[in-house]
Amino acid sequence: MMAGVEWSDIGERVRESRLAAGLSQDDLAQRVGLERTKIAKIESGDRRVDALELARLSSVLRVPMSHFLHRRPQVLSRRAQLVDDTDSDTARNSYQIEASLLAWLRDVRQMIELGTLRQGALLTYPGVVSDAKVAREAALWARESLGLGNGPIETLMSVCERAGQLVLVTDLHGEGASLVDGDVAVAVVSREPDHGRRRATAAHELGHLVLGDEYSSDLGVASSRADREDAVDAFAAELLLPTDVVAKAAVDGNAREVLTRLAASYRTSWSLAVRQACRARMVEPAQAAKLRSVAPTRAELREALGWAPQADLETVQVPPTYAHAVMEAWKDDFVTSQRAVELMHGQITIDDLPSKPDLDVEP
């Protein structure tokens, strides 16, 4: 058992995970091969769990074993907070996202502790963010700080990495979440939505990092949770497609064609492009409503850019520096081949690893 973690803590994690999975104590007992009374005692902290039982619980509840053995960090993005209604799909998805996020944090920390990954400085806005207007200003500041200018962002993975936030793209029901734990910032993004939504989620979670505690305290005191999330969404929209870019592209003619080209070249969702067009006064609200109702097809988006590849946050699951750190740890025998594959989260299989000299073979 990890230092500072009590059996009651592990039991509470088991209970939360069971509820998030939508299982009764009877259901869980049958699936892991234990009596219901033993499950009840585990959850109350009155019974210890051996390694084999913990492995079975991990498999059935679809959370890593480490999820039961570590305390939660204090700072989580708003999307990652576990809601109380554990019977709802939203609550269950939220819990699974949190479990994935915390497991990702532990993977990153392992590479840092092994000395193969060097964590960069976190990019945080120096001003006080009190509303969506200032959040948009912070997005333009972030673009300037990262040397992006007003051009399209090729990959959100690299931009987040340069800002100090390491993003994992993984299988989740939901969109994503992020956290800052000391000097380490991580985020998870679901691969379920289309690439425009994935990019919007990554930009949103980057907004939580860049806007930081000033955002959380100053805006949070006087605003609802929805208002706070709207401010971060404003940051994400301005980061992905600056209003000035849309304003300069506005011409007398077919607004839909112009926005289709912008959505394709800046790799945004159609709704985000229309939203920015409203901000730039390129279209009126009534026209925007009509535009939203008829999104361009995939063929139209591809045609707008001459059929150039457009997917982002799809084939690359982990940041490049992290992937390099895992490979270095494997080469130095800090982690096994199986663990290296686990750490890469589907980026490679064990067959992709190069062969090593067998130092244990006798002459």
pLDDT for the residue 233: 92
Q: What would the mean pLDDT of 209-233 be, rounded to a whole number? A: 66
Dihedral (CA of 202, 203, 204, 205) sign: positive
Closest among 107, 73, 80 to 96, alpha carbons compared: 80
pLDDT for the residue 191: 87
Neighbours of 349 (CB within 10 A): 9
Q: Lowest-pLDDT range, 14-18, 178-182, 232-236, 332-336?
A: 14-18
Closest among 295, 193, 280, 288 to 241, alpha carbons compared: 280
pLDDT at 10 over 90: no
Domains of the chain, CATH where assigned: 1-71 (1.10.260.40), 242-317 (no CATH)
Task: Check if the beta carbon of residue 311 is closer than 8 Å to that of residue 195.
Answer: yes
Mean pLDDT estimate for the chain: 83
pLDDT at 320 over 90: yes
pLDDT band at residue 124 under the 50/70/90 scheme: very high
pLDDT for the residue 363: 43
pLDDT band at residue 309 under the 50/70/90 scheme: low
Rg (CA), the chain: 23
Q: Is the pTM of this model over 0.85?
A: no
Closest among 99, 102, 79, 73 to 18, alpha carbons compared: 99
More confident site: 85 or 66: 66
Q: Which of 7-16, 57-66, 82-91, 163-172 has the highest mean pLDDT?
A: 163-172
Tokens 């709704």 found at: 271
pLDDT for the residue 22: 77
pLDDT for the residue 220: 46
* Angle, alpha carbons 280-281-287 (nearest 5°): 125
HSE at residue 179, side-chain half, CA atoms within 13 A, is 20
pLDDT at 362 over 70: no
pLDDT at 218 over 50: no
Measured distance between the N- and C-terminal CA atoms of the chain, rounded to whole angstroms? 41
Q: What would the mean pLDDT of 168-180 be, rounded to a whole number? A: 87
Contacts 24+ apart (CB under 8 A), 145-153: 150/242, 150/244, 150/245, 152/265, 152/266, 152/267, 153/199, 153/239, 153/240, 153/266, 153/267
Alpha-carbon distance 326 to 335, whole Å? 8
Q: Are strands 184-190 and 165-170 parallel, antiparallel or unpaired?
A: parallel
More confident site: 99 or 358: 99
Task: Check if the beta carbon of residue 70 is closer than 8 Å to that of residue 5.
Answer: yes
Q: Lowest-pLDDT range, 27-31, 77-81, 265-269?
A: 77-81
Q: What would the mean pLDDT of 315-335 be, rounded to a whole number? A: 93
Q: Which pLDDT tens digit goes with each residue over 81-110?
A: 444 444 566 667 777 788 888 889 989 999
Q: Which pLDDT tens digit goes with each residue over 142-162?
A: 999 999 999 999 899 999 999
179 DSSP β-pair partners: 76, 186
Q: Which pLDDT tens digit goes with each residue over 245-281?
A: 999 887 656 888 899 989 988 999 999 999 999 999 9
More confident site: 15 or 206: 206
Q: Lowest-pLDDT range, 158-167, 195-204, 251-260?
A: 251-260
pLDDT for the residue 112: 95
